[in-house]
Amino acid sequence: MEFYIYWFLLALVLAGLEMVTGTFYLLMVAIAMAVGGLAGWLGMSLPWQLLLSAVAVVAGTIILRRWKSGHATEAPNASLDIGQPVRVIKWHDNGNARVFYRGAEWDAEPESADTPRDTTLYIAAVRGSGLVLTHRK
């Protein structure tokens, strides 16, 4: 069996593993193995096959990293509590509050000092075990 066939078989195995991981880095390595196999099929010597494969994997990784950094998306807000109304039980002297939400009492702080205290307040963020309140839904 010709040596370039091993390059292509390795490329297929790595492409299959890529389907399991989904990171695209193994795909770059699989493409590089296919480049090595193509070089072998064209009759190039083993050092040229290795060199072209190495260049392909480095170039593919650089391209992939640049593409991923340019398409970075913000993580979706994991808290389903954001935007939910709360009932203020008591305002403390330091500006914080005790609120009732989901059947329990929570410590809360206003989003800003000018947050009105006499209106319905909504959860703006969750910090640790405390809530941040806003008057905007």
**Domain match, 91 and 44 both:** no
Structural domain includes residue 35: yes
pLDDT given at position 27: 93
Domain boundary among 18, 47, 70: 70
- The answer to whether residues 17 and 51 belong to one domain is yes
Does one domain contain both 15 and 45?
A: yes
Residue 78 located in a structural domain = no
Please give the pLDDT value at position 41.
95
Instruction: Provide the strand spans (E) within the chain.
Output: 85-91, 97-101, 104-110, 121-127, 130-134
66 plus 90 within the same structural domain:
no
Predicted local confidence at residue 99, as pLDDT: 93
What number of residues does the chain have? 137
Overall number of domains in the chain: 2
Model pLDDT, residue 79: 75
Shared domain check, 56 and 12: yes
Kindly state whether residues 61 and 23 are assigned to the same domain. Answer: yes
Containing domain of residue 99, as a range? 85-134
Question: Is the per-residue pLDDT at 46 higher than 70?
Answer: yes
Please report whether residue 77 resides in a domain: no
pLDDT in tens, 66-119: 988 887 666 665 678 888 999 999 999 888 999 999 999 999 999 888 888 888
CATH, residue 95: 2.40.50
CA 6/CA 19 separation, integer angstroms: 20
Please enumerate in sequence order all residues whose Cβ is within 8 A of that of 12, keeping only pairs 6 or more positions apart, or say none: 30
Percentage with pLDDT > 90 across the chain: 62
- What mean pLDDT, rounded, does the chain reach? 89
Residue 44, classified by CB atoms within 10 Å of its CB into exposed (0-12), middle (13-18) or buried (19+), is: middle
Rounded to whole angstroms, the Cα distance separating 89 from 91 reads: 7
pLDDT for res 14: 93
Cβ burial, residue 137 (10 Å; 0-12/13-18/19+):
exposed
In this prediction, residue 17 has a pLDDT band, given cuts at 50, 70 and 90, of very high
The percentage of the chain sitting over the pLDDT mark of 70, rounded to a whole number, equals 95
The two tokens of residue 33 are: 């193995």
